[in-house]
Chains A and B, each alone.
Chain A
Amino acid sequence: GAVVSQHPSWVICKSGTSVKIECRSLDFQATTMFWYRQFPKQSLMLMATSNEGSKATYEQGVEKDKFLINHASLTLSTLTVTSAHPEDSSFYICSATRTTGTKTDTQYFGPGTRLTVL
């Protein structure tokens, strides 16, 4: 149980275009979803935290108008990279937490999406 999927697994786009990445919790309802970015040979960097039905909380230095997050349901969150540029090329990873009753589980991660902006 506790499987998180991401789509697409990789995407190549032209500079200036927008790209949408989907994150789904397949077998549980995710109260909170997280979006991370990871550059080569570096650790994960938290971009934003989102709770279903409310606005995402962005980390310092992350532009909310550039990285649009929508968490419309308990099983789906989307990250849209608007007007992408080569410096946005990175590995984007989502995660989700599961709550059962009053107990909240650990984070379960998606397989990641490799974005390359030409």
Chain B
Amino acid sequence: DAKTTQPNSMESNEEEPVHLPCNHSTISGTDYIHWYRQLPSQGPEYVIHGLTSNVNNRMASLAIAEDRKSSTLILHRATLRDAAVYYCILRGLDSNYQLIWGAGTKLIIKP
């Protein structure tokens, strides 16, 4: 699986939008982009995933660059409960559905 690069941490104010970037310059044509988040002392929680087109769900939006070498997870209105480590992961079709975890971005929400 290709590698991803994320900032170590980001801060945002409560009730403001948050844009979490992820670089994946070595992504292959069949790699899906997955985002998970992990709250303190809990298992990871699926957030969203996509291949080429931008995706929206009740939790977030995923904006994928046209060349697919980067993506951005968008939380439209952050709350204190969104404080977590956010992981951007690439998963290939032949990876036995394994997820290779990087260090992630620790999102700090200020009240």
The CA of A4 and the CA of B46, in the complex, are separated in Å by 12
CB pair B44–A93 under 8 Å, yes or no, is yes
Q: Which chain A residues border B101 with CB–CB below 8 Å?
A: 43-46
CB pair A109–B44 under 8 Å, yes or no, is yes
CB pair B96–A110 under 8 Å, yes or no, is no
Query: Is A64 an interface position by the 8 A CB rule?
Result: no
Interface residues of B in 24-72 (CB under 8 A from A): 34, 36, 41-46, 49
Q: Which chain A residues border B96 with CB–CB below 8 Å?
A: 32, 49, 57
Q: Which chain A residues border B2 with CB–CB below 8 Å?
A: none
CB pair B103–A108 under 8 Å, yes or no, is no
Count residues of chain A with CB under 8 A from any CB of chain B: 23
CB pair A112–B97 under 8 Å, yes or no, is no
Q: Which chain A residues border B104 with CB–CB below 8 Å?
A: 43
CB pair A32–B44 under 8 Å, yes or no, is no
Instruction: Tell me how far the C-beta of A45 lies from the nearest C-beta in chain B, rounded to whole angstroms.
Output: 8
CB pair B99–A93 under 8 Å, yes or no, is no
CB pair B42–A106 under 8 Å, yes or no, is no
Contact mask for chain A residues 1-42; partner B; CB cutoff 8 A; 1 contact, 0 none: 000101000000000000000000000000010100000000
Q: Which chain A residues border B98 with CB–CB below 8 Å?
A: 34, 46, 49
Query: Is B17 an interface position by the 8 A CB rule?
Result: no
Q: Which chain A residues border B41 with CB–CB below 8 Å?
A: 91, 112, 114
CB pair A104–B43 under 8 Å, yes or no, is no
Q: Which chain A residues border B100 with CB–CB below 8 Å?
A: 46
10 A–B contact pairs at CB < 8 A?
A: A32-B97, A43-B102, A43-B103, A46-B98, A57-B96, A93-B43, A106-B34, A110-B43, A112-B41, A112-B43
